[in-house]
Chain A
Amino acid sequence: MTASALASFPHRHLLGIDGLTALEIEALLAMAEEAVDVSRQVEKKKATLRGRTLVNLFFEASTRTQSSFELAGKRLGADVMNMSVANSSAKKGETLIDTAITLNAMRPDLLVVRHHAAGAAHLLAQKVDCSVINAGDGAHEHPTQALLDALTIRRAKGKIAGLVVAICGDILHSRVARSNILCLNALGARVRVVGPPTLLPKGIERLGVEVFTDMRRGIAGADIVMMLRLQRERMSGAFVPSTKEYFHFYGLDEEKLMSHAPDALVMHPGPMNRGVEIASDVADGPRSLIRDQVEMGVAVRMATLEALARNFRND
């Protein structure tokens, strides 16, 4: 990693893409490129975080994000502790702040938090002494996902500026969509959001995106089609009538892709609902970047941890 990259990331926490400059994002991506190389070596270990403690605090169940942070921490030499609060003290009535104070007393250096409430990571950051990384807060932000998506796009297309990126599906409930809109806009992409009106939040067009309710028009000519997960409880009549109808009008299948966006690469933050938002042949096809996204996830999280470690208070 270069000195200039370090100098250009002056934050204690990573709570969102909001508040980062394009240069800071570029700096993280540059560090992540190096982390990709580290992860592809036989010897994958660095010592940047030796002696440091990383706590994964997940109030919502997660497999890939949690293991991705765990792996990133371990490759940098940190001691990693996973706390799945989804089925422990939160159920016993302990508040978020109580949990934070308890954890803080254990003196971790990095706290990775996922919580169902928007703003939870910000609240924690005010109450603890360590660095906080937002791994998803409600429908607000999921910054490392946006960074890994940007890295994936840049490696596949060679650039981000000027690309047309269509983010499709449940925009309303998606923190991935919000972080990606901010990140891709900062990097100069032209961002579209596509979904049924029931899944588009009011005022989304003010975030600098083009809004489409017709999938075919929304992905027409796109360079990247980014599908979002539609949660099962939202597809049985409340927001969309059924999985069948959703797939018919908004699912990404070979036919829609070939006839409207033949040059597009396809992404999905996972976990996928095959046959609901994306057809299997597309997800597993030659234009899918979905597996690359997972690899870039570890790299981006290593970069984030390294960048924050340089700004630790007690250094």
Chain B
Amino acid sequence: MTPATHPIYVRNARLIDPETGRDERGDCLIEGGIISALGPDCAVHRLPPGSEIIDARGHVLCPGLIDMRVFVGEPGFEHRETFHSAGRAAAAGGVTTLVVMPDTEPVMDNVAIVDFVMRRARDTSRVRVVAMAAATLGHHGREMSEIGLLREAGAVAITSGKRSIADSGVFGRLLQYAHNFDVLVVHHVEDQSLVGDGVMNEGETATRLGLKGIPIEAETIPLERDIRLVHRTGARYHAALVSTAESLELVRRAKREGLPVTCGVSIAHLTLNENDIGEYRTFFKLAPPLRTESDRLACLEALADGTIDVIVSDHDPQHVETKRHPFADAENGAIGLETLLAAALRPVHDGRIDLVRILRTMTSTPASLLGLPQGRLQVGAPGDVILVDLDQPWVLEKDRILSISKNTPFERARFQGRVLETIVAGRRVRT
């Protein structure tokens, strides 16, 4: 990421700031990487010399997306994804901040690795990268990592990544300790002993397919435990991915009690269900697994009523050698950076959810949770914005995917809504 070269003036846009609910026609001036003016003709009479003018033609200008759950293969799995390739994919999809997960090799559980990753990302990614650090050493769920020092080194949260911390004593002390530094604890709620060798949602579909099921209690039991420990410790807690109607009920109740509990949902769980697995398509094998249609509808409802705080791509590049297997033997995970926004617009076009609310879950809310200044279309905020044509139709073709790995569940899918421009720190990065 290099600094801005010249000012950019976006004219004639539909300005949307999800945090304040602002939604009006106007212009936006970005100078020195910062939003310096907003509103109708805000800088027409004082345009800095050398400004580049972009005519938005009435399309939406909103903050660039902050994707709170992204797995990049660097270091350790560069054949799946690098910061360079992830940055290109993100720019194409309108994601301007990648929150990368510490599930690397070696695991990001100490200051030196976090430092390396941040530096590497700065040198090679065209969008911003911030990192969550591993909550426990080696992701083993036993000894806590140097949470205070990691926060001072710039880690935006701590997380168990793709694993759950099974030991309640360890997790309780972790919450207590992290609370002291006001660090957000992001937990993957999936009880491995209940998952067992299950590979998809438990129920009729799994039975018909002859695949071993994963019960919803694999998610609700650790989630409920976590909420009780939050009650005990007061720590800020975020369930990384929830997928069942009953989980949402637990979060809803915790919020009613005023607990500092938030949760995320993956774009796949908002737009797909277990039937999409069809004939053992491994690109639909996820953790948590795709659930029933009624769970998916519960997710949409929870998004509308504010129970779900954040939508993530859960971008998880997997290569052919981990996906081209019988369903039960394939790795979990799907890529999602390039399709996050377009897929999230589906329920908007269906009239199920309001545009501003859905944008909030990918901009200002993750920014607030992680303490980031971006994610707002406000004067003084970082100049990370995207220009979106809400209606342009397109079809995702595999050979146009920019990620190194091609494991998308949306191949040949039709979308309505496309990113026209992606600007990071006042610099156009979508090519």
Contact = CB atoms under 8 A, between A and B. Distances in A.
Given A197-B233, A198-B173, A241 B180 contact: no
B124 interface: no
A213 B149 contact: no
B142 interface: yes
Given A213-B180, A237-B136, A237-B137, A245 B173 contact: no
B405 interface: no
Nearest to A242: B146
Contacts of A245: 146-149
A293 to B, nearest CB: 29
B149 A248 contact: yes
Contact of A237 (B144, B148, B179, B180): B144
A236 interface: yes
Contacts of A196: 176-177, 180
B143 A238 contact: yes
Contacts of A239: 173, 177
Contacts of A248: 148-149
A242 B150 CA distance: 12
A233 to B, nearest CB: 11
A248 to B, nearest CB: 6
Contacts of B145: 237, 241
Interface string B123-147: 0000000000000110000111111
A204 interface: no
B115 to A, nearest CB: 15
A237 B177 CA distance: 11
Given A197-B233, A237-B136, A249 B173 contact: no
A240 interface: yes
Contact of A198 (B136, B137, B177): B177
A244 interface: yes
A198 B169 CA distance: 11
Contact of A241 (B146, B179, B233): B146
B173 A238 contact: yes
Interface in A237-291: 237-242, 244-245, 248-249
Interface in B142-181: 142-149, 170, 173, 176-177, 179-180
A15 B400 CA distance: 78
Given A238-B173, A239-B173, A197 B146 contact: no
B140 to A, nearest CB: 10
B108 to A, nearest CB: 14
A237 B165 CA distance: 14
Contact of B142 (A197, A237, A240, A242): A237
A69 to B, nearest CB: 36
A241 B173 contact: no
Contacts of A198: 173, 176-177
A197 B179 contact: yes
B177 A240 contact: yes
A239 B174 CA distance: 8
Q: Which secondary structure dominates chain A's binding surface?
A: loop
A307 to B, nearest CB: 42
A241 B176 CA distance: 12
A234 to B, nearest CB: 11
Interface residues of B, number: 17
Nearest to B178: A197
How big is chain A's contact interface, by range? Answer: 10 to 19
B314 to A, nearest CB: 28
Given A244-B149, A245-B149, A197 B177 contact: yes
A249 B148 CA distance: 8
A250 B233 CA distance: 20
Interface string A125-169: 000000000000000000000000000000000000000000000
A289 to B, nearest CB: 29
A197 B235 CA distance: 11
A237 B143 CA distance: 4
Nearest to B170: A238
A244 B112 CA distance: 14
A239 B143 CA distance: 9
Contacts of B233: 197
Interface in A63-81: none
Contacts of B148: 241, 245, 248-249
Most B Cβ at <10 Å: residue of A236, A245, A249: A245
Given A244-B149, A245-B149, A248-B149, A197 B143 contact: no
A197 B136 CA distance: 17
A239 B172 CA distance: 10
A245 B145 CA distance: 9
A242 B143 CA distance: 9
A33 to B, nearest CB: 41
Contacts of A241: 143-149, 177
Contacts of B146: 241-242, 244-245
A197 B174 CA distance: 10
A244 B149 CA distance: 9
B390 to A, nearest CB: 47
A238 B172 CA distance: 11
A236 B143 contact: yes
A249 B143 CA distance: 18
A240 to B, nearest CB: 7
A238 B169 CA distance: 9
Contacts of B142: 237
A198 B181 CA distance: 12
Contacts of B149: 241, 244-245, 248
Contacts of A197: 176-177, 179-180, 233
B155 to A, nearest CB: 13
Contacts of B173: 198, 238-239
B135 to A, nearest CB: 10
A217 to B, nearest CB: 12
A155 to B, nearest CB: 36
The residue in A198, A239, A244 that gathers the most chain B C-beta atoms within 10 A of its C-beta is A198
Given A239-B173, A241-B149, A248-B148, 8 more contacts: A196-B177, A197-B176, A238-B143, A241-B145, A241-B146, A241-B177, A245-B146, A245-B149
Interface of B: 136-137, 142-149, 170, 173, 176-177, 179-180, 233
29 contacts: A196-B176, A196-B177, A196-B180, A197-B176, A197-B177, A197-B179, A197-B180, A197-B233, A198-B177, A213-B180, A237-B137, A237-B142, A237-B145, A238-B143, A239-B173, A239-B177, A240-B144, A240-B177, A241-B144, A241-B145, A241-B149, A241-B177, A242-B146, A244-B146, A245-B146, A245-B147, A245-B149, A248-B148, A248-B149
Q: 7 tightest A-B contacts by CB?
A: A237-B143, A245-B146, A197-B176, A241-B146, A213-B180, A198-B173, A241-B144
